Structures are given as C-alpha cells and as structure tokens.
Copies of this chain bind each other. A is one copy, B any other.
C-alpha cells in the first residue's frame, strides 16, 4: 500500500530529494543476521554518481541504521536506515515551480497533491530515494547470499550498443554474475564498456540522454517460491521493478520473444539427473508463477532520463500558459549504470519476502515436525 510493500517482510520508504533526510524501514527481518556494513557501502558506491556520465550532485550517502540492529546483528524488530541530504541546491528548482518538465512527474504530482508536493528536485519522485532501496536491498541480498541465492545485473544494451548476454551454461553464468557484481560499470564485455561511456558522454554533450536494457540473473533459488494467484514470482518482481523510476518494460526468460515461438520451441523439457532439471530455460526458472530451481532471467527496459538540456515545449501549471522550457540543475544523461544495483535491490527484497514464507508454502509434515 502506497509507500509500503511486502507480506512476510515489508519495507516503507520515505523522504524527498531536498528534505533533511530520506530513509526506509525494513520490517520482519529474522533476528541474528550479522549485517556487513562494508558490503552496504560497496553497494551504495555502485549507485554513486561518478564522472561525466552522471549528475554532478555528489552525496556522501552515509548509511545510518537507527533501529533493528544491535552489536552488528539484526534484532528482529523494524530496521530503519537513514541517509541525510547534504548537497542540495534548491534554488536550482525554485524558478521551475509550475513549469512542467516533460517525462517527469511534475504534472502528475500537481494533479495528485494539488500543489502541496515538495517539488524541489522532484521531491518524493526523485531517483534520490533509490539510495535507501540500495541500502535495504544490500541487507536482503546478504541474507539471500547466506542461503546460496545470488543476484546480478548487467547493461545488456545501451542505445544501439549491446553487451554479451548472460550464458545458458550455469557454471559460466555464476562466474559472470560474480564479475559484474565486482564492476562499477556492469558489462560482461569490457570493450563495449568504453563505447557505452563514450556514447553517454556524447549524448551529454548534446544535452540529451540515453536509455537501455538491463539483464538480471538470479541463481541458487529453491523450488516452490511464489503463488499461483495473485503473487506469482513474475507478479511480485515486476511490481517492485516497475516501482523503480524510468522502468517501462519487464519480461522473464524469452519475454516478448515468446510471441514468435511455437509451443514445441518454448517448452523446457524435464530431465532427471541427480535431481529434476529442465534441459533449456526459456521460462527462466518459473513455471505457473513458481520457482523450479533454474536461474531466473529478467529483462528491464529503462527509458532515457527525462532531464535533458535541450529546449522543450511545456506548460506553466500555475499560469496555465505554454512555455519553452530549458532545464537547469544537475542531471544524469543516463542512469542504467546506476540503476542496475537498484534493480538488484528490489529483486532481492521480493525474493526474500517470498523466501520468508516458505514455511507456510510447504506442507505440514515438512514444516511442523
């Protein structure tokens, strides 16, 4: 509901881009998990703005855990993360109040909150809030990892440039995930990295912006996570991924490619080795909305950042006049390289929520005796 999501664990997000602080409360975490603060810092760094390919707003993004942790371990009570806003230049925005930035939430925020929204820097709609999601997601990913579940994303395509896709070979895939998780700019093929960065810098120079597609892989999942209706794994993960700003498309496995396959090509045959597996993985580890133990593969399309420096046609909401708009301030010409860890984080949250419910989804003899 609204700024809260989750069944077995929940998180509640709060804050505005130029308010005193942003934060998130993770509730329902198990007690006794040792939180790796260094890992949180390293995950926060993956989201950090750096160089010419990101905004010039640089925030320390120091993570303060206000509750739910004691002596380095989760206590089992609500864990709240606070991140202060420091490098705010609100005057950049004051002039714009009323002038609707195309592609942004300015207009819808006016309509929804009737002008009472904190409009500075996009307020509650700012990508800034994803910093909290990354910090909370890092804890979720640490818990999942301690149970053998590993998540990783890379930039599969940026504008016209493409990276190598994740491998079908599970051993290779595991290695690729590890590698991209160690990189700041997450691509498998390092040569395409430089081209992508140049492409972003070129767009930035033009005062324009770029989008692309992230590919996310999850390995080490148990079978049986998810519900037939209405909480299929696809439903829960897409719900969370689509809550990340700028996401406009989500697909699983062959995704939209299924449209051009026949059933005989789309089905994944079962084979029994030491355990039951599928020979192929077109359905990306999910049958009937429930995990079958194979890797989950997700594609997420992120639109080009709406903040561009070209002059755009717009409207002043307050004077109700048409205006020519030239955006000032500090913006990202592309967010794919920063968004990848945000997608990993919401996916981790969704999977941990499902994972925590496995008692209830397994039969009595399994659970209660």
A74 sits at the interface (CB 8 A): yes
Q: Which of B147, B242, B304 contacts A235 (CB 8 A)?
A: B242
* B75 and A231 form a contact (CB under 8 A): no
A205 sits at the interface (CB 8 A): no
Point out the residues of chain B lying under 8 angstroms from A73, CB to CB: 116
A91 sits at the interface (CB 8 A): no
A219 sits at the interface (CB 8 A): no
Quick one: closest B residue to A20, CB to CB?
B66
Cα(A367)–Cα(B66), bound, Å? 25
A95 sits at the interface (CB 8 A): no
Point out the residues of chain B lying under 8 angstroms from A80, CB to CB: 14-15, 23
* A15 and B249 form a contact (CB under 8 A): no
* A288 and B109 form a contact (CB under 8 A): yes
* A366 and B230 form a contact (CB under 8 A): no
Point out the residues of chain B lying under 8 angstroms from A224, CB to CB: 108, 111-112
Query: Known: A114-B366, A227-B3, A364-B33. Is A267-B359 also a contact (CB below 8 A)?
Result: no
Q: A49 to nearest B CB, angstroms?
A: 17
Query: Known: A27-B1, A301-B256. Is A103-B361 also a contact (CB below 8 A)?
Result: no
* B2 and A78 form a contact (CB under 8 A): yes
Query: Known: A102-B269, A364-B30. Is A230-B203 also a contact (CB below 8 A)?
Result: no
Residues 123-179 of A at the B interface (beta carbon under 8 Å):
123-125, 129, 143, 146-147, 157-160
* A301 and B114 form a contact (CB under 8 A): no
Cα(A365)–Cα(B123), bound, Å? 22
Query: Known: A105-B290, A245-B288. Is A303-B258 also a contact (CB below 8 A)?
Result: yes
* B113 and A31 form a contact (CB under 8 A): yes
Copies of this polypeptide in the complex: 4
A4 sits at the interface (CB 8 A): yes
A212 sits at the interface (CB 8 A): yes
A54 sits at the interface (CB 8 A): no
Q: A281 to nearest B CB, angstroms?
A: 12
Cα(A259)–Cα(B310), bound, Å? 19
* A263 and B208 form a contact (CB under 8 A): yes
* B363 and A147 form a contact (CB under 8 A): no
* A267 and B103 form a contact (CB under 8 A): yes
* B259 and A157 form a contact (CB under 8 A): yes
Quick one: closest B residue to A363, CB to CB?
B32
Q: Which of B67, B266, B303 contacts A16 (CB 8 A)?
A: B67
Quick one: closest B residue to A358, CB to CB?
B359
Cα(A146)–Cα(B189), bound, Å? 54
Q: Which of B23, B31, B113 contacts A114 (CB 8 A)?
A: B31
Quick one: closest B residue to A277, CB to CB?
B315
Query: Known: A19-B66, A287-B108. Is A32-B364 also a contact (CB below 8 A)?
Result: yes
28 contacts between A and B (CB under 8 A): A2-B28, A2-B229, A8-B8, A12-B25, A30-B361, A73-B116, A76-B363, A77-B113, A77-B124, A102-B278, A107-B292, A108-B286, A111-B292, A129-B229, A203-B262, A211-B258, A232-B242, A234-B247, A235-B239, A236-B239, A238-B239, A239-B239, A248-B258, A255-B301, A256-B299, A266-B303, A283-B303, A357-B360
Q: Which 6 A-B pairs have the closest CB atoms?
A: A105-B288, A32-B363, A249-B251, A209-B263, A359-B359, A108-B290
